[in-house]
């Protein structure tokens, strides 16, 4: 489930703001590039072509009339040097060679075009200040106004878009803040959002209401069935248990009959554990079990002894590596069911070798040297009623129950396995607290 920080980063409102900010930045960048490109085109191409045209026009008239005056207007000033007579040429221009460039001239930097023809040299000085002022008033100012209008329209579009999606954002916030563990779906009140005039939002809210209602009914039916079935199964199990206790008191059984009774007893214990787990999962949502600081070291030693008595044999050794004392805030019964299922799986799929339990900071690992699993089997191992090996015992619910408990309490489960080498299951407890350093190795 997302937290508030994640919603702020990834919410519709934030995405909408980013879209409009990026849009405005791109428009501004495109406009600046356009203005810069236009300025360079005007300076490097249009003005140069105009000066070349002015020079051609002057030379054509000069050939007809050597006394034809050089250009002399508000923005364009011409100078002519014949032979080596540069007296009438401004000092900053006398040392310049033919070409097109800017030059320091009378405290300005006008564009200068110099061209030779015969023994004469023509200097054309174009001061674009007036033209630049005109370009500013008739180009940049209108362009700025257009940009302001674009920004205004973008802002209005953003306001309208925000108004349109605000009920959706509010709906997402209400659903995110709703505590599904302590409240039923029937308590999800969306009436306030129905005041909007957006028919699409109203349809979405109605659809969500109907979905929540149907989901609540489904969850309730499932919980009722699990609770009732578990309670009903307790009675025949109690009868079987009492009858088995009477049989175990008899002394006249053959060896093979004793083995059969032991298998019945083992299966009966498994069924009791499964029913207890189903009851726990059925009632925990409506009435959460009280949490306490459980010293997992003591609990694992007790479980290790219990399961070793019922499933252990000479070919399997169990070790406990305690790298610290670990306190886990949870219901002890939940932790017992969790690790009982993990240990039971390790015993089921290990015919001989070592089962290792390791307690580390914020995590507990259970490793075995059993038959292991392939990558394909690992992809399905948490599915209900799935058994990685057909010849294994059990109901295929152990890891499914472990996953449900981890999801409900916010724990993380990791699995690594290699066929023929064994499996390692690790449960991470984010809220666990470490006490002291390394204890010992059993």
326 and 283 inside one domain = no
- Can you tell me the distance from the alpha carbon of 302 to that of 367, in angstroms, rounded to the nearest whole number? 18
313 and 398 inside one domain = yes
- Of 258, 288, 318, which residue constitutes the final position of a domain? 288
pTM of this prediction? 0.47
pLDDT digits (tens, 9 = 90+) for 15-51: 767 777 887 788 778 777 776 666 666 556 777 888 8
Total of domains in the chain: 3
93 and 231 inside one domain = no
Q: Which residues contact 240 (CB under 8 A, 6 or more apart)?
A: 264, 268
158 and 225 inside one domain = no
46 and 100 inside one domain = yes
124 and 149 inside one domain = yes
72 and 130 inside one domain = yes
* CATH (domain of 271): 1.10.287.130
248 and 330 inside one domain = no
- Can you tell me the distance from the alpha carbon of 402 to that of 388, in angstroms, rounded to the nearest whole number? 16
CB count, 10 Å around CB of 112? 19
pLDDT digits (tens, 9 = 90+) for 60-85: 998 999 889 999 888 889 999 998 88
Measured N-to-C along each axis, helices 398-409 and 255-284 cross at an angle, to the nearest 10 degrees, of: 30
208 and 294 inside one domain = no
257 and 318 inside one domain = no
384 and 326 inside one domain = yes
- Of 231, 259, 288, which residue constitutes the final position of a domain? 288
pLDDT of residue 157: 77
- Of 225, 259, 288, which residue constitutes the final position of a domain? 288
408 and 315 inside one domain = yes
pLDDT band at 367 (very low <50, low <70, confident <90, very high): very high
Give residue 26's domain range. Answer: 1-177
């Amino acid at each position: 489930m997302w937290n508030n920080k994640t919603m702020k980063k990834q919410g519709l409102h934030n995405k909408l703001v980013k879209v409009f900010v990026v849009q405005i930045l791109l428009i501004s960048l495109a406009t600046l590039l356009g203005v810069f490109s236009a300025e360079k085109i005007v300076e490097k191409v249009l003005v140069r072509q105009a000066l070349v045209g002015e020079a051609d026009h002057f030379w054509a008239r000069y050939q007809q009339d050597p006394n034809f005056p050089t250009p002399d207007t508000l923005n364009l000033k011409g100078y002519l040097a014949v032979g080596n007579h540069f007296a009438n040429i401004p000092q900053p221009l006398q040392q310049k060679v033919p070409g097109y460039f800017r030059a320091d001239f009378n405290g300005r930097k006008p564009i200068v075009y110099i061209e030779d023809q015969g023994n004469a040299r023509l200097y054309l000085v174009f001061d674009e200040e007036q033209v630049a002022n005109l370009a500013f008033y008739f180009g940049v100012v209108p362009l700025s106004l257009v940009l302001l209008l674009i920004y205004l329209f973008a802002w209005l579009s953003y306001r309208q878009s925000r108004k349109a999606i605000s009920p959706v954002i509010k709906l997402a916030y209400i659903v995110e803040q709703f505590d599904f563990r302590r409240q039923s779906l029937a308590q999800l009140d969306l009436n306030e959002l129905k005041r909007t005039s957006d028919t699409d939002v109203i349809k979405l809210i109605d659809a969500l209401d109907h979905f929540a209602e149907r989901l609540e009914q489904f969850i309730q039916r499932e919980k009722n069935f699990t609770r009732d079935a578990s309670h009903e199964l307790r009675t025949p199990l109690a009868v079987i248990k009492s009858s088995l206790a009477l049989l175990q008191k008899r002394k006249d059984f053959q060896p093979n009959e004793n083995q059969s009774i032991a298998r019945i007893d083992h299966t009966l214990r498994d069924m009791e554990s499964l029913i207890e787990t189903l009851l726990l999962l059925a009632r925990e949502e409506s009435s959460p079990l009280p949490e306490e600081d459980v010293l997992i070291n003591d609990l694992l030693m007790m479980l290790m002894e219990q399961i070793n008595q019922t499933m252990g044999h000479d070919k399997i050794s169990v070790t406990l590596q305690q790298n610290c004392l670990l306190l886990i805030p949870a219901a002890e019964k939940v932790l017992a069911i969790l690790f009982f299922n993990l240990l039971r799986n390790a015993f089921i799929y290990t015919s001989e070798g070592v089962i290792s339990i390791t307690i580390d900071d914020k995590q507990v690992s259970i490793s075995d040297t059993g038959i292991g699993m392939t990558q394909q089997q690992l992809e399905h191992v948490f599915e209900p009623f799935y058994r990685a090996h057909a010849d294994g015992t059990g109901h295929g619910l152990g890891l499914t129950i472990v996953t449900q408990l981890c999801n409900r309490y916010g724990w993380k489960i990791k699995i690594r396995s290699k066929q023929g080498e064994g499996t390692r299951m690790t449960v991470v407890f984010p809220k666990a607290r470490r006490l002291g350093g390394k204890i010992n190795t059993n």
